[in-house]
Amino acid sequence: MKKTLSIWMLMILGMSFFFCTSTPIVEVDLLIKAGTLFDAQSGEVVHNKAIIVDQGRIIAIEDLNKDLSGYKALSKIDATDKFVMPALFDTHSHVTAFVDTIGTKYRVPTIKVFADEQLSKWHLRAMLYQGITNIRELGGFPKIAVNLKKQERIGEIKSPRILACSKLMSESPLIFPEIVEQIHDVEDARNYVKEMKKLGVDYIKLLFNLRPEFSKAAIDEAHKLNLKVAGHIKATTWREAIDMKIDALVHTPYGNDPMMDLSSKHVSKVLNEMAKKGIPNDPTLAMRYGYFEDPFFEQRTQLKEVYDSAPQKLKAMWQMLSSYKSITFSKNPAMAEYHFSYVQKAHDAGVVLSTSSDTWTSWADYGNTIHNEMFLLSKAGIPNKDVLMIATKNGAYQLHIQNDYGTVEKGKVADLLILRKNPLTAMENTRTIDAVIKNGKIVDRKKLLKP
């Protein structure tokens, strides 16, 4: 009897030890086996990692040689022979404005634009198809931008996340009359910012001919209301805007701006101040380069299916605008040299650069512009690992969402890009997209292209 009782006690103890020491099963949404994972914090790669995702966020990053039987994943991706990195950012887009005609008035270029929410939705899907999961609209039709932002957040549309923007605050409506808010005095500037806050925008955009006192009024009012301000400025200098605590400067300097003299002490001082104060800049090289005239942009890997899915109205506008002869780097080597030298100097000074398209939907190439931008940054001499950081980590910083996005880290939202080829060896490889993941969910890219 005692012997039988002892055996039962040993069995019970053994079973208790087994259940106490066995690894509990954790059910998760997604497990990705990454052969090469880009660490956007350091700019280096790590190998053979498992990215564990649940409820849209990365809950763990484990070594692949570790026992992963404790995770039961609803979906799995074997990317052991692929390159995994954070998804991309477009920090300067115009997805709500479509170019109708380009002409001149009083010897000043004038671009007539219009709104079409359905065309905007197609463009947003095309951007997501190309691996872009966060964008900042920087001037267009703010009511539509706010509406699209809301639709994306509740899942009504397939789209990158959107930060909405005001119209372009300017003293002259000549260039983009439909999307310019003409400012006559300081009170005008303050009142328009208040109006945009009520509408629900995230950013205020200042345009080139806004004088310093108007710019300061807009920036001060925006900051009181917890809005950010970006400037495509000239009448207010970059130096003045930095002192006004502007949040971002867009494009590269142009025209007779003192920033054009890259050898001057003034330029070095301004760039160093931008780096010190963390004021970012999106140089929009692809826009400067020209969308249709450079042979490189004809090598549009993966783009035929995107073009074929575009609404006919958009195709007609592309065809019309492709004949528009803008000044491009290919026609003006000196311009190319200046813009390349600028971004290299800004990068070396520590300025936070980000990728941006400046897409006026109807003449840009539907999401691919960001890949062009990355290629051009690499061509300008910026190391490829830094270009990837510019397109990811820096984009999140530029949009003030770096706590949740921009890197592949435990606790962050799982926005990921899986590539078939390594972009560190050739930047064109960012186009070899195998999968896009947004909010921890695999994006059905084929469905994005359907009407």
- Give bridge partners of residue 49 from the DSSP assignment: 34, 63
Whether the per-residue pLDDT at 442 is higher than 60: the answer is yes
How far apart (Å, rounded) are the C-alpha atoms in residues 318 and 303? 14
Whole-number percent of the chain with pLDDT over 70: 85
Question: What spatial distance separates the first Cα and last Cα of the chain, rounded to whole Å?
Answer: 78
The domain spanning residue 118 has which CATH number? 3.20.20.140
Q: How confident is the model at residue 336 (pLDDT cuts 50, 70, 90)?
A: confident
Domain co-membership, 116 together with 233: yes
Domain-located, residue 382: yes
Domain-located, residue 13: no
At 96, which amino acid appears? T
Residues 6 or more apart in contact with residue 206 via CB below 8 angstroms: 168, 169, 170, 215, 218, 219, 229, 230, 231, 232, 233, 236, 241, 246
Domain-located, residue 9: no
Q: 294 with 328: CB under 8 angstroms?
A: yes
The residue among 208, 78, 213, 226 whose CA lies nearest residue 139 is: 208
Whether the per-residue pLDDT at 263 is higher than 80: the answer is yes
Helix (H, G, I), strand (E, B) or coil at 270: helix
In this structure, how many other beta carbons lie within 10 angstroms of the beta carbon of residue 161? Answer: 21
Choice between 307 and 128, residue whose per-residue pLDDT is larger: 128
Domain co-membership, 296 together with 235: yes
**pLDDT digits 0-9 by tens, 90-132:** 999 999 998 887 776 656 667 888 999 999 999 999 999 999 9
The domain spanning residue 434 has which CATH number? 2.30.40.10
Whether the per-residue pLDDT at 298 is higher than 50: the answer is no
Q: What's the structural domain count of the chain? A: 2
Sole residue written with tokens 């359905």: 118
Sole residue written with tokens 């090289």: 285
Mean pLDDT of 225-237: 95
Domain-located, residue 322: yes
Strand 132-137 and strand 441-442: the pairing is unpaired
- 298 token code pair: 């004809």
- 25 token code pair: 């099963």
How far apart (Å, rounded) are the C-alpha atoms in residues 158 and 133? 10
**pLDDT digits 0-9 by tens, 59-70:** 999 999 999 999
Domain co-membership, 41 together with 175: no
Domain co-membership, 118 together with 57: no
DSSP 358: -
Choice between 144 and 252, residue whose per-residue pLDDT is larger: 144
Query: What pLDDT, on a 0 to 100 scale, did the predictor assign at position 299?
Result: 46
How far apart (Å, rounded) are the C-alpha atoms in residues 102 and 326? 11
Query: What pLDDT, on a 0 to 100 scale, did the predictor assign at position 369?
Result: 85
Residues 6 or more apart in contact with residue 61 via CB below 8 angstroms: 37, 49, 50, 51, 52, 408, 409, 410
Sole residue written with tokens 């190998």: 47
Helix (H, G, I), strand (E, B) or coil at 106: coil
Q: How confident is the model at residue 359 (pLDDT cuts 50, 70, 90)?
A: confident
Query: What pLDDT, on a 0 to 100 scale, did the predictor assign at position 322?
Result: 64
Query: What pLDDT, on a 0 to 100 scale, did the predictor assign at position 133?
Result: 98
Domain co-membership, 334 together with 239: yes
In this structure, how many other beta carbons lie within 10 angstroms of the beta carbon of residue 450? Answer: 8
Choice between 263 and 391, residue whose per-residue pLDDT is larger: 391
Domain co-membership, 31 together with 103: no
| Pick from 188-202, 307-321, 373-387: least confident | 307-321
| Three-point CA angle 351, 180, 248, nearest 5° | 10
Kindly report the pTM of this predicted structure.
0.91
Domain co-membership, 366 together with 422: no
- The CB-side HSE value for 55 (13 A sphere, CA atoms) comes to 5
Mean pLDDT of 287-314: 64
- The domain containing residue 210 runs over which residues? 88-405
| Rg of the chain taking only CA atoms, in angstroms | 25
Domain co-membership, 82 together with 92: no
Domain-located, residue 54: yes
Please report the sign of the dihedral spanned by the C-alpha atoms of residue 370, residue 371, residue 373, residue 374: positive
Query: What pLDDT, on a 0 to 100 scale, did the predictor assign at position 316?
Result: 80
Average of per-residue pLDDT values in the chain: 88
Query: What pLDDT, on a 0 to 100 scale, did the predictor assign at position 12?
Result: 54
Query: What pLDDT, on a 0 to 100 scale, did the predictor assign at position 301?
Result: 42
